[in-house]
């Protein structure tokens, strides 16, 4: 993971394998772990398929919820990352393609 600070970006963090972009000078452990979960998802899928799926699922969720925040939070990659971003040992026990278990609401 290569951490890069981007103070002007809108989200607190963004994963773009092998980089993690963060807004804050001192990002929280939770933000870093959240983005590390996304890096693992990107390694599994490949960066381009990850983003194609991410954007496609966002548009499906937007049609479903008609609300940007709800659409974003319900993308399976985000559901997994938010669910486990404070479970700091998660990546050592996580199964491959675990995000698929988050396609349906838990
Ligand atoms: Zn995220």
- Residue 6 inside a domain? The answer is no
- Residue 73 inside a domain? The answer is yes
- Residue 78 inside a domain? The answer is yes
How many domains would you assign to the chain? 1
Q: How far is the CA of 47 from the centre of ligand 1 (A)?
A: 14
Burial of residue 89, with CB atoms counted within 10 A of its CB: 0-12 exposed, 13-18 middle, 19 or more buried: exposed
Cα 81–Cα 75–Cα 24 angle in degrees, nearest 5: 50
Instruction: Identify the CA nearest to 85 among candidates 45, 41, 29, 44.
Output: 29
Q: How far is the CA of 67 from the centre of ligand 1 (A)?
A: 17
Strand partners, 22: 5, 13
Local confidence band at 57 (pLDDT 50, 70, 90 cut-offs)? very high
- Residue 14 inside a domain? The answer is no
- Residue 97 inside a domain? The answer is yes
- Residue 3 inside a domain? The answer is no
SS (H, E, C) 32-76: HHHHHHHHHHHHHHCHHHHHHHHHHHHHHHHHHHCCHHHHHHCCH
Instruction: Round to whole Å and give the CA distance between 42 and 72.
Output: 17
Residue 105 has pLDDT above 90, yes or no: no
Write the pLDDT tens digit of every residue in 13-26.
Answer: 999 999 999 999 99
Write the pLDDT tens digit of every residue in 60-83.
Answer: 999 999 999 999 999 999 999 999
- Residue 1 inside a domain? The answer is no
Q: How far is the CA of 82 from the centre of ligand 1 (A)?
A: 7
Domain that holds residue 85: 29-102
Looking at residue 1, what DSSP letter applies?
Answer: -
- Residue 38 inside a domain? The answer is yes
Average pLDDT over residues 73-99: 97
């Amino acid at each position: 993971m290569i951490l890069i600070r981007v103070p002007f970006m809108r989200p607190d963090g963004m994963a773009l394998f092998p980089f993690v972009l963060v807004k804050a000078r001192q990002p929280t452990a939770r933000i870093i772990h959240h983005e590390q979960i996304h890096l693992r998802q990107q390694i599994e899928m490949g960066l381009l398929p990850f983003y194609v799926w991410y954007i496609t699922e966002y548009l499906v969720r937007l049609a479903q919820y008609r609300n940007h925040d709800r659409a974003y939070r319900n993308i399976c990659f985000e559901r997994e990352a938010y669910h486990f971003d404070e479970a700091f040992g998660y990546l050592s026990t996580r199964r491959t393609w675990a995000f698929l278990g988050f396609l349906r609401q838990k």
